[in-house]
Amino acid sequence: NAGVTQTPKFRVLKTGQSMTLLCAQDMNHEYMYWYRQDPGMGLRLIHYSVGEGTTAKGEVPDGYNVSRLKKQNFLLGLESAAPSQTSVYFCASSYSSRYYEQYFGPGTRLTVT
């Protein structure tokens, strides 16, 4: 069981470039989440998904898009990266609304120059 994995681990982008972060889980979890963490801040929810084919906005969704085409994968896209999106991105998953423990990935460190 790999748990929650994130690809890539590190990335440097130039302003205006696009990229996709991949989150995968092998625990058959229904719910998946993307958070960002900035220095000195707690994690903030970007988008989340309650099941395959569904997504919803979190606290800080602007500048990001997501897709959940397969139950095990949750993609986070940046269409036109900005320096304000420099952050560490964490993916998490949970089995259901009732069994709500969130399992986190190792994080992706993204720098936008």
Residues making contact with another protein (CB under 8 A): 31, 33, 35, 40-45, 48, 50, 56, 58-59, 90, 92, 97, 100-107
Quote the CA–CA distance of 106 and 69 in Å, as a whole number. Answer: 22
Q: Based on CB atoms, which residue is closest to another protein, 8 or 106?
A: 106
Distance of closest approach, residue 48 Cβ to another protein, in angstroms: 5
Distance of closest approach, residue 72 Cβ to another protein, in angstroms: 17
Report whether 15 contacts 111 (CB < 8 A): no
Q: Based on CB atoms, which residue is closest to another protein, 13 or 105?
A: 105
